[in-house]
Amino acid sequence: MKTIAIISSSVRRGRNSHRVALYIRNYIEENNLAKAEIVDLDEYDFPLFDERLRLQKDPLPGAVSFAATISDADGVIIVTPEYNGGYPASLKNVVDLLYDEWRRKPVAISTVSDGPFGGTQVITSMQFSLWKIGAWTVPAMFPVPKVTDSFDETGVPADKAAADKRAAKFISELIWCIDAKSLMALRPPV
Ligand SMILES: Cc1cc2nc3c(=O)[nH]c(=O)nc-3n(C[C@H](O)[C@H](O)[C@H](O)COP(=O)(O)O)c2cc1C
C-alpha cells in the first residue's frame, strides 16, 4: 500500500489548519487510498536549524526521523496556513533541512486561511520553493477558506459531501503522480 505523509505545518498556539490535516488523513483512510501519517511540526518542536541535515555533525533524532518519514513516503501533502501572503517559518525550516529527500517527491499543497480566500496567495511561494528544491509539485489545489466554519477541531467537515468531492480530485491527482513515478522506475534504463 502507498504511504502518504501529511505535513501539518502550523505551530501557532490555537492553530486551526491542523483541522484540515486531520480531515485529509481521515479521508484517505476512510477511502482506503493509502496509509496516511500526520507529520506534525508542532509535535516535533524543532529549533531553527543552522545547517542542512546532511551537513550536521550531531543531528537531532527528531530531524533524522522527519527526514526518514519524508524519504520513505510515496507522496507528501503539505497543509500550510497563509501568513502575510507566505508560508510559515516552521515550514521553511524543514523544507531547507532536507535535499535528496525532496527530489522528485510528489507533493500536493493544501492552503488554509480563516478569511474568505483560502490562502490562495501562499501557493505561489510554496510551489516555487518546492520546485526549486526538486520536488514534483502536483497540479491540484485544496484551498480552505474560513477554516473554523468548514471543519471542527477533530477535522469533521461542516459539509462532508462538498469536502469529499474536492478531496477526491485533489488526492487522486497526487496518487496519479505517485503511480506515474512508480511506472517510470520500472522502465529499463536508456
Ligand atoms: C502571522 C499571521 C499572519 C497571517 N496572515 C494571513 C494572510 O496573509 N492571509 C490570510 O488569509 N490569513 C492570514 N492569517 C490568518 C490565518 O489564515 C489563520 O490563522 C488560519 O487559522 C490558519 O493558520 P493557523 O493554522 O495558524 O491557525 C494570518 C495569521 C497569522 C498568525
Q: Given a cut of 90, is residue 66 above it in pLDDT?
A: yes
C-alpha cell at 85: 501572503
Check residues 39 and 189 and name the one with the higher pLDDT: 39
Average pLDDT over residues 71-76: 98
pLDDT band for position 189 (cuts 50, 70, 90): confident
The model's pLDDT over 44-60, given as tens digits with 9 standing for 90+, comes to: 999 999 999 999 999 99
Q: What is the CA radius of gyration of the chain?
A: 16
Nearest CA to ligand 1 atom 23: 81
CA of 115 to the centre of ligand 1 (A): 8
Q: Could you tell which of 82, 123, 126 is best to mutate to test the pocket of ligand 1, judged by most ligand atoms within 8 Å of the CB? A: 82
**Which residue's alpha carbon is at the smallest distance from atom 2 of ligand 1?**
83
Q: If you ran DSSP here, which 8-state letter would residue 151 be given? A: B
- Nearest residue CA, atom 5 of ligand 1? 83
DSSP-derived letter for residue 7 is E
Portion of the chain with pLDDT greater than 90, in percent: 96
Ligand 1 atom at minimum distance from 85 CA: 8
Cα–ligand 1 centroid distance for 21 (angstroms): 16
Integer angstrom CA distances of residue 76 from 13, 24, 51, 136: 24, 12, 23, 10
So what's the pLDDT on residue 188?
79
Contact 138, 173 (CB under 8 A): yes
pLDDT at 184 over 90: no
In 10 A of CB 124, how many CB atoms?
Answer: 11
Question: How far is Cα 27 from Cα 46, in angstroms, rounded to an integer?
Answer: 28
